Amino acid sequence: MASLATRSQQALRSVSRRASQIAARVSTSPAQTATYSLLARTAVASAPRQPTVQNVRGIKTLDFAGTKEVVYERADWPLAKLQDYFKNDTLALIGYGSQGHGQGLNARDNGLNVIVGVRKDGESWRQAQEDGWVPGETLFPIEEAINRGTIIMNLLSDAAQSQTWPTVAPLITKGKTLYFSHGFSVVYKEDTKVIPPKDVDVILVAPKGSGRTVRTLFKEGRGINSSVAVFQDVTGKAMEKAVALGVGVGSGYMYETTFQKEVYSDLYGERGVLMGGIQGMFLAQYKVLRANGHSPSEAFNETVEEATQSLFPLIGAKGMDYMYNACSTTARRGALDWAPIFEKANAPIFEQLYESVKNGTETRKSLEFNGRSTYRTDLAKELKEIDDQEIWRAGKTVRSLRPDYKPE
């Protein structure tokens, strides 16, 4: 696959050149980009707030392979309109993990009034201070932050949302809005016991990516794709508020869904192709190569390196057929023959996985594991086991040979 790799790299370079050109054309204009980036704070500090509300319509119905779906876009919410919309609100961001960090800093940089609530003197308290949240001013213990907030953004771990609910629930009083980034707590209420009060709007903005990506895309002047949903609409404005918050925390496009569909697809996807499935496939392929006498570097290159560095970016840029077309006729023929075999072998596993999500088994496991007081050390132990696998140890050396290598 050496020639394949070279051709793929050439194709990739040309694709990424074209992608940058397209991105430059379709992304927001330079002036607008600046308003959704770190520059926002400076702009807010130096310029008086513009109360003028612009009505650029940013709701689209798009055709996704024959199905019409509603998509909201940031263009509907210029910064002045966003700031005006939330001028009387305090966004109380509860929890400061990956999403708390990304969403909180983005909303703050967008000039919204944000405070953070976390356990005093925990790891998140320390990290929040590092990011400039000030105890007593913008950083508070959880209960105090909820009391001060009008929009309660529950970004605790899903297990912690359940554990803390008995103390959190009475503080979500009439007139406040309850926000989640996952349908987990509300949908699996039999297990989590999270039942929102009847007199508040309950909304969801779920960025489709890590909180770190939420932050980096925002800093680049781009926005992450997010799912957006309403569970309870008391004011009649719940969807509008959800979309505005989605923009506030750094979304570019928002896809309308329901709490249930969001959580089912999310739990399923991360256990499947996004994380669990990919680790399982990588490992199985690598082990068979090793058992047949291939060296660690050869097994790693043919399993992970070529996938992540050459072929997967082509799928991301223009789809699977495009990637197939960028490969040799030999590679293409074999892949065409073997794809249905893999599909058939994997379909029952995916069905089993979806059922396990739907019947709550996955939720109960997650609540048990992540609800332990030792959840951080228990996780670190299991991740260390992965890091110690030969495939990933070999990967470290392979990565060190990349031209742009930076010591890990």
Ligand X SMILES: NC(=O)c1ccc[n+]([C@@H]2O[C@H](COP(=O)([O-])OP(=O)(O)OC[C@H]3O[C@@H](n4cnc5c(N)ncnc54)[C@H](OP(=O)(O)O)[C@@H]3O)[C@@H](O)[C@H]2O)c1
Which residue lies nearer to ligand X by CB, 113 or 161? 161
For residue 101, indicate whether it is catalytic. no
Residue 122 interacts with ligand X (CB under 6 A): yes or no: yes
Question: Using CB under 6 A, which of 164, 177, 232, 366 touches ligand X?
Answer: 164
Q: What is the smallest separation between the CB atom of 100 and ligand X, expressed in angstroms? A: 5
Which residue lies nearer to ligand X by CB, 196 or 211? 211
Task: Give the footprint of ligand X on residues 67-106 (CB under 6 A).
Answer: 95-100
Question: Using CB under 6 A, which of 210, 225, 265, 297 touches ligand X?
Answer: 210
Q: Cα separation of 205 and 241, whole Å?
A: 10
Which residue lies nearer to ligand X by CB, 101 or 176? 101
**Alpha carbon distances (Å) from 355 to 349, 379, 408:** 10, 25, 39
306 is in an annotated binding site: yes
What beta strand segments (E) does 181-322 contain?
Answer: 201-207, 224-232, 251-256
Question: Using CB under 6 A, which of 69, 123, 343, 382 touches ligand X?
Answer: 123
Question: Using CB under 6 A, which of 115, 156, 204, 224 touches ligand X?
Answer: 156
Q: Cα separation of 332 and 338, whole Å?
A: 10
Q: Cα separation of 241 and 97, whole Å?
A: 23
Which residue lies nearer to ligand X by CB, 95 or 313? 95
Q: Do 146 and 95 form a contact (C-beta atoms < 8 A)? A: no
Q: Do 139 and 126 form a contact (C-beta atoms < 8 A)? A: no
Count of residues that interact with ligand X, criterion CB under 6 A: 25
Q: What is the smallest separation between the CB atom of 209 and ligand X, expressed in angstroms? A: 6
Helix extents (H) in 39-141: 39-46, 79-85, 98-109, 123-130
Which member of 81, 101, 108, 182 is catalytic? 182
270 is in an annotated binding site: yes
Residue 243 interacts with ligand X (CB under 6 A): yes or no: no
368 is in an annotated binding site: no
Task: Give the footprint of ligand X on residues 314-353 (CB under 6 A).
Answer: none
In this structure, the strands spanning 151-154 and 139-140 are: unpaired
Q: Cα separation of 354 and 352, whole Å?
A: 6
Residue 182 interacts with ligand X (CB under 6 A): yes or no: yes
Neighbouring C-beta atoms of residue 205, cutoff 10 Å: 27
Q: Do 313 and 12 form a contact (C-beta atoms < 8 A)? A: yes
Q: Do 208 and 27 form a contact (C-beta atoms < 8 A)? A: no
Residue 158 interacts with ligand X (CB under 6 A): yes or no: yes
Q: Do 119 and 141 form a contact (C-beta atoms < 8 A)? A: yes
**Collapsing DSSP states into helix, strand and coil, what is residue 134?**
coil
Residue 224 interacts with ligand X (CB under 6 A): yes or no: no
Residue 163 interacts with ligand X (CB under 6 A): yes or no: yes
- Using alpha carbons only, what angle is made at residue 399 by residues 398 and 400, rounded to the nearest 5 degrees? 90
Q: What is the smallest separation between the CB atom of 213 and ligand X, expressed in angstroms? A: 8
Residue 117 interacts with ligand X (CB under 6 A): yes or no: no
305 is in an annotated binding site: no
Residue 124 interacts with ligand X (CB under 6 A): yes or no: yes
Q: Do 119 and 146 form a contact (C-beta atoms < 8 A)? A: no
Question: Using CB under 6 A, which of 155, 168, 317, 357 touches ligand X?
Answer: 155
Strand order in the sheet with 139-140: 59-64, 67-73, 251-256, 224-232, 201-207, 177-180, 151-154, 91-94, 114-117, 139-140
Q: What is the smallest separation between the CB atom of 329 and ligand X, expressed in angstroms? A: 39
Q: What is the smallest separation between the CB atom of 2 and ligand X, expressed in angstroms? A: 36
Which residue lies nearer to ligand X by CB, 32 or 370? 370
Q: Name the segment binding ligand X (CB under 6 A); options: 84-92, 117-125, 297-305, 351-359.
A: 117-125
Which residue lies nearer to ligand X by CB, 138 or 181? 181
84 is in an annotated binding site: no
Nearest one of 88, 74, 83 to 48, comparing CA atoms = 83
Neighbouring C-beta atoms of residue 258, cutoff 10 Å: 15
Residue 160 interacts with ligand X (CB under 6 A): yes or no: yes
Q: What is the smallest separation between the CB atom of 79 and ligand X, expressed in angstroms? A: 24
Return residues touching ligand X (CB under 6 A): 95-100, 118-119, 122-124, 155-158, 160, 163-164, 181-182, 184, 206-207, 210-211
Residues taking part in catalysis: 182
Annotated binding site for substrate: 328
Annotated binding site for Mg(2+): 266, 270, 302, 306
